[in-house]
Amino acid sequence: MSTLYITEQRSTLRKTDERLVVTLEKDVLIDVPIIKIDQIVIVGNVTVTAPTVAELMERKINICFLSQYGNYLGRYEAPDSRNGLLRIAQHKIYQDPKARVEVAKRIINGKINNQITFLARQHRASPHKKLSEAIQSIKKTKKGLNRVETLDEIRGYEGNAAAIYFQVFPEILKNDFGFAKRIRRPPTDPVNALLGLGYTLLTHNIQSALAIVGLDPYIGFLHGDRYGRASLALDLVEEFRTIIVDSVVISMINNNMITEKDFDIDLGVCSLKDSVKKRVLPKI
């Protein structure tokens, strides 16, 4: 999927013939053929003209809006797939308590397996007692997960594995940037800011994929029901957090691709500087 990221504040996105053009006053910042773009991510104060939105929806190119701090705001989405039979099958699983628990259990099993594999890889590269202990603890959690029968139990085991996993993050990072634990909103340090931004983009990508195949993103199996929440997208994000986001964030920090100078802290909220987002977003 080819994603166009627009981070320049007060810029404007418009369609010109068969191209997408981003301008700031009289300067052209981006000029790319529409045919090369699958989706667009807009960060902060960017204007999109109405004819451009219409053209993008016609071509089934979704637009995701993030705040200047990287928080998800909303999206323009092309019409859903007309595969009603697929959605009926999805709803049947949702309404069957045992089937729903089984799907949720498989999702978290996948997530925990990826956490174990990731930590084992880090341990082989740089052996550390805390990593070895964390791997064994998470493996024990996985064994317990296979015996549970309710969604609340699954969430409990998932939370326990995640807590162990993030406790050893400082051992993996060459520079922990003040990271002590996973903090979602608001992020208070660079590591949490990068993780949160990465998870937001991953959720947007998965929601787009669900729309393409025709599944209902609002009917999930693990995450609870809430009006407006894309529960299925959030479900599927769980399995891919480690291999898609965490590994990239660790690599960027350990290879000095990003430093503390690339972040701003305003009223305790840590976020990437505008000048850095254009460089970092495509890598996440």
- Cβ-defined contacts of 104-107 (< 8 Å, 24+): 104/151, 104/154, 104/221, 104/222, 104/235, 105/145, 105/146, 105/148, 105/154, 107/221, 107/222, 107/235, 107/236, 107/238, 107/239
158 marked ligand binding residue:
yes
Q: Are strands 27-33 and 19-24 parallel, antiparallel or unpaired?
A: antiparallel
12, 46 Cβ separation under 8 angstroms = yes
Residue with tokens 């859903």: 80
Q: Which amino acid is at 43?
A: V
User: What gap in Å lies between CA 132 and CA 250, rounded to an integer?
Assistant: 18
User: What gap in Å lies between CA 154 and CA 98, rounded to an integer?
Assistant: 13
153 marked ligand binding residue:
no
Burial of 147 (0-12, 13-18, 19+ CB in 10 A): exposed
169, 179 Cβ separation under 8 angstroms = yes
> Which residue in 25, 26, 24, 30 sits closest to 3, CA to CA?
30
> Which residue in 253, 110, 107, 262 sits closest to 169, CA to CA?
253
8 marked ligand binding residue:
no
User: What gap in Å lies between CA 274 and CA 11, rounded to an integer?
Assistant: 13
Binding residue numbers: 158, 223, 238
Output the known binding site for Mn(2+): 158, 223, 238
